[in-house]
Structure 1
Amino acid sequence: MRTQRIGIIMHGITGRMGMNQHLIRSVLAIRDQGGVLLSDGSYLVPDPVLVGRNADKVEAVAKAHNVARWTTDLDAALANPDDTLFFDAASTKLRPELLKRAIDAGKNIYCEKPISESLSEALDIATYAKSKSVKNGIVHDKLDLPGLKKLKRLRDSGFFGRILSVRGEFGYWVFEGDWMPAQRPSWNYRAADGGGIISDMLCHWRYVLDNVVAPVKAVSCLGATHISERWDENGNAYKADADDAAYATFELEGGIIAHINSSWCVRVRRDDLVTFQVDGTHGSAVAGLHSCVSQQRVNTPKPVWNPDQPQTMNFFDDWEEVPDNAVFDNGFKLQWEEFLRHVAEDAPWSYTLLEGAKGVQLAELGVQSWKERRWLDVPALEG
């Protein structure tokens, strides 16, 4: 089996997402399977070097996962011509500067979202990457979730007829950190550190709606900071001043109305941590992370409103599971494989930094809508 190496500088791999989804379940999983199959029959094998500020943490991750190379010297890593790809999953505030340094070093770049805290910065770095002719990409991981792939399959088949509306519910209870440790990092809840659920999640909802349902044309958003005091990783109380919930309505192309609630202050009583219901003239479907159920027009029950008697119908029984009909791999890993092929042989790739800027744009408009208490159009981005 013919192989070729690709050196990947991985920054931000001591955090939850960087370590679990990108390092372990993507890059190392690709390495351990023998690489990514290219069109010439050879396999592209990742050779990562882990980079971070805390030597003890980075070394521990490297040793635990059989990664030979690690360093705290980002400049030295960027100076190595044998490593041609830079990946970042660290904090949003630092990302534009890090990406620019990597581009200046001639590296192709791949990163977590959002690109930056502002649209102007996001467009600047997207334009800069294009001007320097480096391959660039941003994670759109939810598009490869089995549930959303099935939902898109239904849309593409014409199952819904004319799509009318979308209802999304995302979130769970994130503990405050006093009597029970929080399951998300404390910076998420501090505005000065780039926290906030609007900037975090509206980036996702932009590419989900654009690609699975229809392009977003306008937004109305109401944010909230429901819990104003939390406790950090060291048990110290701090002021939580970033938005921890967002209630957003979107107008999509074709007159479709979408409403998505995002909250870290909600207790879950639904099929999954995120669900999307799409209703159309000929059918409806509800997708979670992995499953998707549908209900056709001819199979729709006919309930009658009667508040004087207990409900006897079980509405969950009237939905049919959409079959897998395929083996679904980890969504992060699939996109890593696609991007690696793009870098190695210019295979098609859609999720550039400009697409990532669209997510930042929607988040920025969401915050503006909240502050001004009004609808805002979503202009087309050129780049």
Structure 2
Amino acid sequence: MNGVTGRMGYRQHLTRSILQIREQGGVLLPDGTRLGVEPVLVGRNEDRLREIAQRHQLQHWTTDLSAVLDDPSIDVYFDAQVTAQRPAAVKNAIAAGKHVFTEKPTAPTLAEAVELASLAREAGVVAGVVHDKIYLPGLVKLRRLVEEGFFGRALSLRGEFGYWVFEGDVQPAQRPSWNYRAEDGGGITVDMYSHWNYVMENLLGTVRAVTAKAVTHIPVRWDEEGLEYRATADDAAYGIFEIEGGVIAQINSSWAVRVHRDELVEFQLDGTLGSAVAGLRRCVAQQRSQTPRPVWNPDLPATEQFRAQWLEVPDNADLDNGFKVQWEEFLCDVAAGRPHRHDLLSAARGVQLAELALKSSREGRRVEIPEIAL
């Protein structure tokens, strides 16, 4: 596990996924047996690795990635490093015959992301990319409604994501400073469009075209040492996406917005027979037969409580932590020797969407998205 000293790698992947899987006795396989897991922590900060290992009573940690990749007892390589360092490490892991599970974006450029997907396919290893958003309870429920035909013909998807990230002068920023430097691989388009691509694919289908505007609303920020720096990466992106079948999606992503929503991300899917709004955990829906008949009258105050007109979609299942659920699915695929459904090609499509969205923003035009061929 490379990159567990970072917030996401430590919290979601190590403590809330792998250590919990280990504590429950491993991954339950279809034949009733269990696949055990034992993490080996890898990183560049020896002191931080030692501290994490001691805290969780883990025996195996190292700063020598090459030695780990040469170890025949290790089956899976996981990467949660910063994006710029990921391609070389994943490439070496594939060359060493390791199965690969990685955070996204898988690479800074589409060419590098496609190369990784091609190398994994040629090597015959099981390769997967973290698609955590579609494992969230809210989006699991939304997908269930799609599969049940609740929406009829889907018309549009609207997404709102973001929150105010402090500049770092008076209050510390909640995100690392490299996120706001393009030269270090930062930018909300690069970060979030890899998510939005697989969310739209999972709910509705392939994205065929994009029209986007990426902007830097906050031009000056302060880093972890309190030093002022110029933000060279976009901190907000406003996108329109054309999905196969004629569905139009609009997604606003911003680190310079104050939240007036129930959750930090919400998606509203509208169809001819019904609509639903999903967040991280909740999902509410409104059928056509239960849809009120609002009338526009700006001369009178609103008398309808619009939020109260929607019905809660129940869990109807044990919806565990999304990162852990995908880890279990991936490890089952490793045990069975079958491809993971969220492979490195799906990750490459996310990188492609981000690249073409930035191209759309620079050139001020709609950009069609070609199919990627390996």
Asked if TM exceeds 0.5, the reply is yes
- 1:269 corresponds, among 260, 276, 285, to 260
Shift in Å, 1:141: 0.8
Distance (whole Å) between structure 1 residues aligned to residue 322 and residue 338 of structure 2: 18
Match of 1:187 in 2: 178
Distance (whole Å) between structure 1 residues aligned to residue 51 and residue 367 of structure 2: 47
Secondary structure of 1:48's partner?
coil
1:161 aligns with 2:126: no
Match of 1:317 in 2: 308
Shift in Å, 1:39: 2.8
1:1-383 correspondence runs (5 A): 10-347=1-338, 349-383=340-374
Q: Which amino acid aligns with 1:292?
A: C
Secondary structure of 2:260's partner?
coil
Q: Which amino acid aligns with 2:281?
A: H
Distance (whole Å) between structure 1 residues aligned to residue 293 and residue 58 of structure 2: 59
Q: Which is worse superposed, 102-111 or 18-27?
A: 102-111
Shift in Å, 1:63: 1.2
Shift in Å, 1:348: 5.6
Q: Which amino acid aligns with 2:209?
A: A
1:13 and 1:19 in contact (8 A); partners too: yes
1:217 and 1:378 in contact (8 A); partners too: yes
Q: Which amino acid aligns with 1:22?
A: H
Shift in Å, 1:311: 1.2
Shift in Å, 1:228: 1.0
1:174 and 1:265 in contact (8 A); partners too: yes
Shift in Å, 1:236: 1.4
Match of 1:4 in 2: none
Secondary structure of 1:47's partner?
coil
TM-score by length of 1: 0.96
Secondary structure of 1:266's partner?
coil
Shift in Å, 1:339: 0.7
Distance (whole Å) between structure 1 residues aligned to residue 145 and residue 97 of structure 2: 42
Q: Which amino acid aligns with 2:241?
A: F
**1:14-41 deviation line (CA, Å, top 9, x unaligned):** 1111000111111111001100012332
Distance (whole Å) between structure 2 residues aligned to residue 340 and residue 166 of structure 1: 32
How many residue pairs get aligned? The number is 374
2:235 and 2:254 in contact (8 A); partners too: yes
TM-score by length of 2: 0.98
1:177 and 1:231 in contact (8 A); partners too: yes
1:198 and 1:367 in contact (8 A); partners too: yes
Distance (whole Å) between structure 2 residues aligned to residue 210 and residue 345 of structure 1: 25
Shift in Å, 1:179: 1.0
2:285 and 2:312 in contact (8 A); partners too: yes
Q: Which amino acid aligns with 2:351?
A: V
Shift in Å, 1:177: 1.0
Distance (whole Å) between structure 2 residues aligned to residue 328 and residue 360 of structure 1: 29
Distance (whole Å) between structure 1 residues aligned to residue 3 and residue 150 of structure 2: 42
Distance (whole Å) between structure 1 residues aligned to residue 128 and residue 196 of structure 2: 18
Q: Which amino acid aligns with 2:285?
A: S
**1:317-375 deviation line (CA, Å, top 9, x unaligned):** 11000011111001110110111111112256211101110100101110110011111
Q: Which is worse superposed, 229-238 or 278-287?
A: 229-238
Match of 1:7 in 2: none
Runs of at least 5 residues in structure 2 that lack an aligned partner in the other structure: none
Secondary structure of 1:298's partner?
helix
Q: Which amino acid aligns with 1:67?
A: L
> RMSD across aligned C-alpha pairs, in angstroms?
1.0
Q: Which amino acid aligns with 1:156?
A: E
Secondary structure of 1:78's partner?
helix
Distance (whole Å) between structure 2 residues aligned to residue 346 and residue 108 of structure 1: 10
**1:228-279 deviation line (CA, Å, top 9, x unaligned):** 1111112111111100000000011111110000000000001210000011
1:171 and 1:266 in contact (8 A); partners too: yes
Secondary structure of 1:180's partner?
coil
Q: Which amino acid aligns with 1:76?
A: A
1:152 and 1:213 in contact (8 A); partners too: no
4+ runs of 1 displaced by more than 3 Å? none
Distance (whole Å) between structure 2 residues aligned to residue 98 and residue 77 of structure 1: 11
Q: Which amino acid aligns with 1:273?
A: L
Q: Which amino acid aligns with 1:361?
A: Q
